[in-house]
Structure 1
């Protein structure tokens, strides 16, 4: 929308006073009427109105404008200024009347029409806004795009598409208009029309990579996989060095059971400086799932993670850690969880996995050190106390374990399984201290929680 047009002070002078005011006059002749007095009065009132508006005294500005209109109601700019003051005063009905009067007096004034359109848009009066925009499109193509947006808002999709076609023909393709097109296609379910539009673009401009990529995406979305694959190969012929095409090809190759080609495409993607880390991560995640079913390609997965560079973030490391967990390789899983934690040290789930894996791998001293540090940051997380207690018991430090476990019990809320685990560890602690009575008490408490009601 075009807004905030500023009228120069000089412009007002030229607008208000006709050219014959500047003609030579005989200064020796006295005026034979009061026109001169009216002219002075008009100027005084108008400029006082501008002054009051400048200091945001809109009520007073309105008063002076109304008085100026009483002196000379032929000047359209008075109504324009009056309308703008009324808008500031939230008197939208009066603002509309004033701006419409300004437009009626000077129908070809773009600024007046724009102000009226802005008023209607602010009031969500779409029908009137559309009517005004239809007058404005003669002045600037930006108004056509505004009109297309309003057509979409009012579900007049055919009219919107027609305008978008005109704008694309005049100005070329733009991302903002494509977004509007996609809104229309999504709202109407006209996927075939969407694809036809993209096919036409590709025919008209076969050397533009973006046209191929957009068509590949829409074919895939419409489950036309063969056409998508063919288009990807066409792009590869036209642009052999394209990196973006491999975002599609690696998936097609996996689906077609061509793992070597898929791996080659994947490696191009993860090394690309043009492709965003989020897209690389998606490719890497897909390949992790593939390797889970085809473990013979695990060396390629490891190589890909090394090549990934900026994709090497918390999420990618968590994905790899989960993969190695499913394979039963806890050492590798721990390595990747620890890598993830270096990128996201506030991730409590990752921390929990690290601590539990240290216990599983019998890294008890490491578990104690990390639990002690973790409690400084998370003093109310019972899982940390539990792991801490387990590690202390394993190292025969039962007295310390009891203190830690009893403290951790206070933080358990509605988790009978964890509470039972705490009691079992306390039973172990007292057993280590040869306190069989206490050991049995806690063992019984654990069993009571484990017994179904």
Structure 2
């Protein structure tokens, strides 16, 4: 072997060594994201030099395509990874994320299940499974998984409260909030939610019956009362500019009250700002605890999709509203 051939061989071996070190570092970084969870995402098994290089290229292409929203391209690259290295946890996890982003809940669930078979206590993968169930509005299953997360991560109880509320398990939500409050761990948003649930349960909330918006706005500017704000929004129902102004302030002051999101969504729909209306309504619907308001959200979401020219989703949300028989 001449000098040049030997030199090329040595350089190639060094490049492969650098690659192995970089690949190991990358997967170590993925593992470290899990805040100490052991073996949360396993590094690839030993591959031949050629296979390892191909795996690296396909995997990083998948991450790159996912980051710009090209989920089908990401999936194609992950399929190539899977051919090179079958049953890899990291690849299964990425498959699941891309299928979820592509609104294919069935395959998203299938791949995260495969990953969890190998690493059943991985917090990040369990959180991802909660997202899948939440998107399917299967809150009972989401609660089961979240309870498993909470067993190892008590600071995740706040989200468990919200899942109880989404599933209309109000007493369980209040009981858990009482525990958090006794530990001085109840956030300001949950305090407002707790007050709202307790007021609803005891039927103590009484609407202020005023027709003139002037005294209402003066009073609201002084005490920032939610009940006053709600009355302002009701009176301003057909006045998009006023409705938008006070609903935006309402979201800032009372971020867990769904009615302010509903009114902002309506105001934006009335102004033909359908994209922002849809975003606002989607953000607010998770706080809804009553069928009547849920139906109202669906009707406004249908209007937004109609304005965006999406007939399929418009009809979908109209049907959801009808199913609630409101």
TM-score, with length taken from structure 1: 0.35
Bigger radius of gyration, 1 or 2?
A: 1
Which structure has more relative contact order (CA 8 Å, sep 6+)? It is: 2
TM-score, scaled to structure 2: 0.47
